[in-house]
Amino acid sequence: MKKRKLFASVAAGAMVIGSVAAAAPASAEPGDNADVEVTVDIEEITEPGVLALSVAGDSVALAEDGSTLLVRQFVGTLPTVTVTDTRTADEVPAGAAWAVLGSASDFVGAAGQEPIGAGHLGWRPKLLDGGDTGLVSEGEEVVTVVDEPTQPGNNVGLVDQELLVSTFDSGAVAGGEYTVNAELFLRTPADVAAGEYASTLTLSLFE
């Protein structure tokens, strides 16, 4: 009995040793190379679109034209304003609408002259490129405080935020670029003090 147990143990040990030897990998020879290909799939970064406003210039000089015995008039053209929307329709909030509004500060005299109120500056917006949808439109004319209204209540000048261009459906016009300018006119009493004046016309994009 003892011999049988010993024999069985030795046999089992031999079987284990033989199994390990068969599974061992072959050793590489010195100087051999082994290459491993490494791959990665990098997806393009998708930046969300934006709604932005730009203006072709930062100043405009008004020149006298069309004055009468009672009113002096100075005119010029607002530099082209561009609204760019690089968003997709899916990126636009439901029911969104955008608009560009403008308001002016008083004209301050360079030599201490009495300021000319912003109500003396008016504009007549002109849509240059509204796209093909027909959903982008220019604002209405705003005349000055020395004028009779051309539409009810529009003889206020650019004192408060007045509409330059807008759409009532941002999603429908997403992905486009739209341009507008405006005829500017400053109208003052004939006895306005001579000298240089400056005002700031602020344009703001809202949605």
Highest mean pLDDT among 29-33, 36-40, 63-67: 63-67
81-104 mean pLDDT: 97
Q: Is residue 16 very low, low, confident or very high in pLDDT (cuts 50, 70, 90)?
A: very low
What pLDDT is stored for residue 45 in this prediction? Answer: 76
Q: How far is residue 76's CA from residue 185's CA, in Å, rounded to a whole number?
A: 7
Whether the per-residue pLDDT at 18 is higher than 70: the answer is no
Per DSSP bridges, beta strands 177-189 and 71-85 are antiparallel
Can you name the residues that pair with 162 across neighbouring β-strands?
Answer: 102
Whole-prediction pTM value? 0.78
Q: What is the pLDDT of residue 25?
A: 53
Residue 125: pLDDT band (50, 70, 90) is very high
Give the integer Cα–Cα distance in Å for 188 and 119: 10
Query: How many residues are there in the chain?
Result: 207
Q: What is the DSSP letter of 160?
A: S
Residues 163-189 have a mean pLDDT of: 98
What is the distance, to the nearest Å, from the Cα of residue 72 to the centroid of all Cα atoms in its chain? 38
